[in-house]
Amino acid sequence: MEYRKITAIFRCDACKKVERRLQEVGVQGFSLSHIEGYGEYADLYSSDWMTRHARLEIFTEAAKVDIIVEAIMDSAHVGLAGDGIVAVQSVEKLYRIRTRREIHADEP
């Protein structure tokens, strides 16, 4: 089975909305962290231009990527500069630390 890593960076105030939507589409787990940086939108009033955003990371089966990406974009979209980005990367192998084994398609 092919796996993908989805990384999304979006406004912090969209976290709860994104979380609810991901639960609705059946995402079993994800990691969320708060980060600082600047890109399309920079805080020009700050001495270093930094803004706070959320970074979401999900490892999932390739077949589920489009549904998850659409859910993130729908729930994080405001229509302003700084709404964020979503990236999808291929994953060569995925291991579960507890079992020390590679995760395969037939595992929960």
pLDDT of the residue at 104:
78
Contact 18, 30 (CB under 8 A): no
Q: Given 3-state DSSP classes, what are the helix, strand and coil percentages for the chain, each rounded to the nearest 5?
A: 25, 35, 40
pTM (2 d.p.): 0.88
Architecture of domain 3-102: 2-Layer Sandwich (3.30)
pLDDT of the residue at 108:
54
Q: Which residues of the chain have pLDDT under 50?
A: none
pLDDT of the residue at 37:
85
Question: Which contiguous run of DSSP H or E holds residue 19?
Answer: helix 15-24
Cα radius of gyration rounded to whole Å, the chain: 16
